[in-house]
Amino acid sequence: MASNLTLTTAEFEEKVLKSDVPVLVDFWAEWCGPCKAIGPSVEAIASEYEGRAKVYKVDVDNEGELASTYGITSIPQLLVFKGGKIVDSMRGAGPKPQIASLLERAL
């Protein structure tokens, strides 16, 4: 799972909105220092929660329309979806336990 977390607009509905488990979506960009700082934590969480939740990364430069749809105005921004709806979010970088707690609350 953690090897390819990239998510495109075309896949979003099927992989996120129709998911039967909670989904953490990391909106990020290659040039964003704080995004790169939390990257390893997001990837580790993807592995640790495999089977219980899903984790994806959306590059806002490549998927600007999707970022706009969800009101992403600063990055990194993490959204947790459950049942096709946003149930939690976090703006800015944070430690791994804080990121994991977003998913824990949705399980």
**Residues taking part in catalysis:** 32, 35
Q: Kind and range of the H or E element at 76?
A: none
Beta sheet of 85-91, edge-to-edge order = 54-59, 23-28, 77-82, 85-91
Instruction: Name residue, tokens 């992989």.
Output: 15
